[in-house]
Amino acid sequence: MRTKTNCLTTTSASTEDSQGRLKVQTGQKKLNGLTNASFADGSSNTNVVNGAGHAVRDNASNQTAVNAGGVTILRQPQAKPRFH
């Protein structure tokens, strides 16, 4: 087990499971006072959480958003194939 410091808490630790996946364990501290959290992967997919809601967008700009007003799903029109 490798112990990480200055991450989420001073008691965070990471290990690898039998399939080589990284597992992160944190202490029992609460994360208070955050204004937002943003996540992205290597394929331009994003996930943003803030006080107003939660939005997930894929690399084609399709978006699903959840907020106090409800759920909104925005799909980009698919490009039509062009024949020459």
Average pLDDT along the chain: 80
Task: Map tokens 């039509």 to a residue.
Answer: 80
Query: Which of 28-37, 44-53, 58-67 is predicted with the least confidence, judged by mean pLDDT?
Result: 28-37
Bridge partners of 55? 48, 65
Tell me the whole-structure pTM to 2 decimals: 0.56
Task: Map tokens 């364990």 to a residue.
Answer: 25
